[in-house]
Amino acid sequence: MILLELFKKNRICTHDRVKIDSDFSYCPDCGELIENKWFITRCACCGVKLKATKKNGEVVPESHYCKNCGGKEYKVERLEKINFINIDYAVLVKDIVKPAVSSKVQTWIDLKTSNYTPELLTQFL
């Protein structure tokens, strides 16, 4: 039992349980804020949609050439919203959103010169 827990902690979360219908969502497994991004690939020569897939973290077309013109170059386009026409060609990329604020501010109060009694303060991030 303990051995299985060690393997689970070293595993990288793939965010499989994040809902795909929302733009931003928290992962129920790891608690990270996830942004759903939809991408399609098009032929650079004729502009025909090519079925996209994700290999090694990069969005690429499934076939190595365009079946319309035979071109090997392609363009990757990001879709703002997915629709039923593009769903067969699109691929979903789940990115972790990093917080914009990375520094913290602390305030110190000199108890000798003020009559303030220290209390717990709320922290805003």
Dump pLDDT digits (tens) for 16-29.
999 888 899 999 98
pLDDT of 77 above 70: yes
Residue 79: inside a domain, yes or no? yes
| Overall average pLDDT of the 86-111 stretch | 83
Q: What is the pLDDT of residue 12?
A: 84
**Residue 118 predicted with pLDDT over 80:** no
Confidence of residue 115 (pLDDT cuts 50, 70, 90): confident
Residue 124 lies in a domain: no
- The yes-or-no verdict on residue 45 having pLDDT over 70 is yes
CB neighbours of residue 77 within 10 Å = 14
Separation CA 54–CA 58 (nearest Å) = 5
73, part of any domain: yes
Range of the domain at 44: 15-96
> 24-26 and 91-96 as β-strands: parallel, antiparallel, unpaired?
unpaired
Answer yes or no: is 121 within a domain. Answer: no
Dist CA 62 CA 51 (whole Å):
6
Whether residue 104 is contained in a domain is answered as no
Residue 119 belongs to a domain: no
CA gap 78, 63 in Å, rounded: 19
- Whether 62 has a pLDDT exceeding 90, the answer reads yes
Q: Say if 118 falls within a structural domain.
A: no
- What's the pLDDT at 13? 86
Q: pLDDT band for 7, please (50, 70, 90 cuts).
A: low
Residue 69 inside a domain? The answer is: yes
In this predicted structure, which of 1-5, 12-16, 83-87, 94-98 has the lowest mean pLDDT? 1-5
Domain count, the chain: 1
